[in-house]
Amino acid sequence: MTATIRVAAAPISWGVCEVPGWGRVLDAATVLGEMAALGVQATELGPPGYLPREPAALRELLGGYDLKLVGGFLAVVLHENQRNALKEAEESAALFAACGGEVLVLAAATGLDGYDERPKLTEAEWAALVDTAGKIRDIAAAHGLRTVLHPHVGTHVEQRAEVERFLADSDLGLCLDTGHLMIGGTDPVELAQRYPERVGHVHLKDVREDLAAEVRDGRLAYTDAVGRGIYTALGEGDVDVASMVRSVQAAGYDGWYVLEQDTALGDSSPDDVPRRDTERSLAHLTTIIDSL
């Protein structure tokens, strides 16, 4: 029997990113229209300012494309200025909840622009990070949302040791982002098998391990790796996406699978590249689902 799996997308697959100077940004009508045409059921919100932040306007916009809201990504500094982090979390959680969202995807931002540099935290700053994440979990829960911590390149939870430490120090679930975990040195399949109860959300990516190794070793900046095609359509890179999906499904995961290939569009990049890559990813995921 074919499993019932909820599939969503995210604007970053169309090059829409919060990082200044990331690349050319396609308009929302194009992005949402292509998502709907591909048959995905929902979207994450995308970076602040890309889609409306007023609930009625956002509901109307997404409804026009028959898309639901999964929730959204919140990259915020957690290790200092807790009051500001909690304020941002309250605003995002209220918006997500008002528009039918289910999950707040939290990342431990450094406070720097982009994801190419990562200052080291002190023990006190790490403790503050964990404490603030817990308070954000409580804020989101008050709005009926789950909070997951997203291990992400260029944040303070990136490398395998940091992922393991966060799992030990916090009770938050994880956003199992197959690409960012692999780039950071964590096997996403093995992680999902060891901590099935901590998988609270899934971002499906595929990556080229040769470029991931260069990023891990500090020989290639993350932004440059994206430009060189570190992210591929599902099934065309080195992540064992099929095994990961089978593992989390067997463990009872019933959340969203968000197709998310971090893309940066150059001035000469064809507009249809994101749609074609997402279409190939969706076809590969459909094959996996049909085999379950």
Distance between alpha carbon 74 and the CA centroid of its chain, in Å?
A: 10
Residues 6-46: pLDDT tens digits? 999 999 999 999 898 999 999 999 999 999 999 999 999 99
Residues 139-164: pLDDT tens digits? 999 999 999 999 999 999 999 999 99
Q: Which residue has the tokens 């968000």?
A: 258
Residues 34-90: pLDDT tens digits? 999 999 999 999 999 999 999 999 999 999 999 999 999 999 999 999 999 999 999
Beta-bridged to residue 108, according to DSSP, are: 76
Instruction: Please give the backbone phi and psi of residue 131, each rounded to the nearest 5 degrees, phi first.
Output: -65, -45
CA 5 to CA 257: how far, in whole Å? Answer: 8
Q: Name the CA dihedral angle for 151, 153, 155, 157, rounded to a multiple of 10 degrees.
A: 30
CA 94 to CA 91: how far, in whole Å? Answer: 5
Query: DSSP assignment of 152-213, as one string?
Result: -TTSSS-SHHHHHHHHHH---EEEEEHHHHHHTT--HHHHHHH-GGGEEEEEE-EE-HHHHH
- At 267 the pLDDT is 87
CB atoms within 10 A of CB 82: 16
Q: Does pLDDT of 239 surpass 60? A: yes
Nearest to 171 by CA among 146, 193, 192: 146
CA 117 to CA 122: how far, in whole Å? Answer: 16
What is the amino acid identity at position 83?
R
Instruction: Please give the backbone phi and psi of residue 49, each rounded to the nearest 5 degrees, phi first.
Output: 95, -15
Which runs of consecutive H residues, i.e. helices, occur in 21-159? 28-38, 55-63, 82-98, 123-142
Angle at 163 between CA 79 and CA 281, to 5 degrees: 115
> How far from 142 is each of 42, 65, 97, 171, 176, CA to CA, in Å?
23, 29, 10, 17, 23
Helix (H, G, I), strand (E, B) or coil at 115: coil
Length of the chain: 292
pTM for the predicted model, two decimal places:
0.95
What is the enclosing helix (H) or strand (E) of 20?
none
- At 1 the pLDDT is 38
Nearest to 183 by CA among 155, 146, 142, 143: 155
CA 49 to CA 60: how far, in whole Å? Answer: 16
Residues 80-136: pLDDT tens digits? 999 999 999 999 999 999 999 999 999 999 999 999 999 999 999 999 999 999 999
